[in-house]
Chain A
Amino acid sequence: MRFFFSSRQFKVILCVTLCLIALSAVCIAIGGRMSPQSDVLGTIAAPFRAAGEKISTSVSDFISAFTEGNEAQLKNAELESEINELREQLKDYEKALSENEFYKDYLEIKDANPDFMFEAATLISRDNQDPYKGFTVNKGSVNGISENDPVITDAGLVGFISEVGLTTSKVSTVLSPDVVMGALDNRTSDSGVLSGSLELAQNGETKLYNLSRSCNVAVGDYVVTSGEGIFPSGLLIGTIQTIGSDEYNTSIYAAVKPFVNIDEIRAVMVITDFEGQGALGE
């Protein structure tokens, strides 16, 4: 083995390792960019990942069709081919309808916030090692996406873009402690700070803390963004599940269940531009 440590192979591996460590340091210092080797390989692998996700979705749909039962398919064997034909048409219709609904919902958000600029993106990979359920989408800097852009669905806020590559970007979800933003109780306008914690992320919840002891928040209230931080104001976040007092009894906090089911996200919208973006983000 000692021959290995004096070999050319060892020197090459050592050089590569040192270069990668230096690269990591540079990436951390710059922030918000993927490391170059990951960016290149991620760009090459992105179409395959997208295909893999499509296969995964199709298999899940196929399995759920079986488990939920499809009576029409089994009832009439004579009309099977006709049913299949109609089903094909229905599938196209439903796809068009759901796409329509998808864009209509965003259109409503767009109507309410004319300053928002959207970029539609599809989930291509999940980070299974991330307890906060981060994921990767198929759009990057070439599509105008930049670090800290808010990510939403028609149901509400998902998170923000934490790292940008050329054609892919990583999303940190509202469950993550990396997300720190101002939030309001929509009913009482009581304000606090919203951020994730591992303890609550296990239940798919995040934490609204620093609420005044005299506030009137209640279980079931909607929580929206206040506009402080990197997010525009008025985006739906979730509902208050439980309310508690902090360890020093100086303020109270609320566990918030996001409206968005992060496990079932397939497509998102990235807000690439809005009025006041970057004003308080830095």
Chain B
Amino acid sequence: MLAKKRHPVIFTVNILLFFAVILFGGNSIIDISIKNATPLLLLPMLTAFSIFNSVKSSAAAGFISGALLDSTSSGTYCFNTIFLMVLSVSVSLAANNLFNKNIRAAAALSLITSFIYYIIYWLIFMTFGVEIQNSLIYLLEYGLPSAVYSAVFIFPFYFLYKCFSKIKGTN
């Protein structure tokens, strides 16, 4: 029987990377916002991670990072946990069955996931009980610019996870 090859170093680096992105995404050490566009680095990072990892690993990564994000987000309850878990599973499935694992597919997946995230976020949290003017301000001035800006970060994460994948020999 073939034993599954483990890569503790890559596993540790992955955990540290996720933790660093979650930790420093929530404070002002490096402010990379452009006006109202604030990137959610977890989205491209999870997208890149899911492209090169199994559905199970992607679901676990999505669940944990989503729950951590929910612990500091105002009024989101389980939204990030559910969304990031479903997103990771969907990306992993799409990358393994529908798309090639190249940079164009990754960029497309990242853009799609970012847009879906911000549109669903807007639909759930910004359309009910908020004036229509404020709701549209959020979508046009915060949501969509943040989605595009977040998607840009797929490039470094894609190459990083491609490199990890080559080391693991799973690509």
Contact = CB atoms under 8 A, between A and B. Distances in A.
B171 interface: no
A4 B27 contact: no
Contacts, number: 145
Nearest to A134: B74
B67 to A, nearest CB: 5
Contacts of B131: 197
Interface in B17-71: 19, 22-29, 33, 36, 38, 40, 55-56, 59, 63-64, 67-68, 70-71
A77 interface: no
Interface stretch (B6-14, B82-90, B107-115): B82-90
Interface stretch (A30-38, A146-154, A221-229): A30-38
Interface string B103-140: 00000000000000000010000000011011001100
B169 interface: no
A1 B71 contact: no
Interface in A140-182: 162-163, 165, 168, 170, 172, 176-178
A20 B137 contact: no
B77 interface: yes
Contact of B27 (A37, A52, A131, A172): A52
Contacts of B24: 52, 56
Nearest to B20: A52
Given A125-B72, A127-B72, A131-B138, A23 B28 contact: no
B163 interface: no
Contacts of B82: 17, 20-21, 24
A45 B19 CA distance: 9
Nearest to A37: B67
Q: How large is the interface on B (under 10, 10 to 19, 20 to 34, 35 or more residues)?
A: 35 or more
A15 B59 CA distance: 13
Nearest to A45: B68
Given A20-B81, A52-B23, A125-B27, A41 B68 contact: yes
A38 B78 contact: yes
A41 B25 contact: no
Contacts of A34: 70-71
Interface of A: 1, 4, 9, 13, 16-17, 20-21, 23-24, 27-28, 34-35, 37-42, 45, 48-49, 52-53, 55-56, 59-60, 125-132, 134-136, 162-163, 165, 168, 170, 172, 176-178, 197-199, 202, 263
Given A40-B67, A56-B24, 18 more contacts: A1-B97, A16-B59, A17-B86, A20-B82, A23-B77, A37-B70, A38-B77, A41-B64, A41-B68, A45-B22, A52-B27, A55-B29, A56-B28, A127-B73, A134-B73, A168-B71, A170-B72, A170-B74
6 contacts: A24-B82, A27-B77, A52-B23, A128-B26, A131-B142, A170-B75
